[in-house]
Amino acid sequence: MNDQKIIEVINKLVGIIKYHKIKNASELKKYIYTHNFSEKNMKQMKELFAEYGEMNVFNCVLSYYSTKLQNTKKNLIKKIKGFKL
């Protein structure tokens, strides 16, 4: 998955976290699998999860969101790619 697609998925996940006030990775996972997303969005998320691990992605996105001022998307991508399965 290229960096641009990773950023698209991250932006969607951050939006979900903000809007629904999600506090941890298991809440985010539950939300994703219990709500309807477009086929394209689900495919992108599942591709990212398969490549880097669900909980790794969720935890990275949550830490990115909670420390947004200190992190850039570029650093987040490096962190996520460090978990490549």
Amino acid at 30: K
Q: Hey, what are 35's tokens?
A: 């709500």
Q: What is the pLDDT along the chain (85 residues), one digit of tens a residue?
A: 788 888 888 888 888 888 888 888 788 888 888 988 889 988 898 898 889 888 888 888 887 777 764 567 777 777 788 877 6
Q: What is the pLDDT of residue 70?
A: 56
pTM: 0.74
1, with CB counted inside 10 A (0-12, 13-18, 19+), is middle
Q: What are phi and psi of 71, to 5 degrees?
A: -110, 150
Residue 47: how many CB atoms within 10 A of its CB? 14
Please tell me the predicted confidence (pLDDT) of residue 68. Answer: 62
pLDDT at 59: 82
Rounded to 10 degrees, what is the CA torsion of 45, 51, 57, 61? Answer: -70
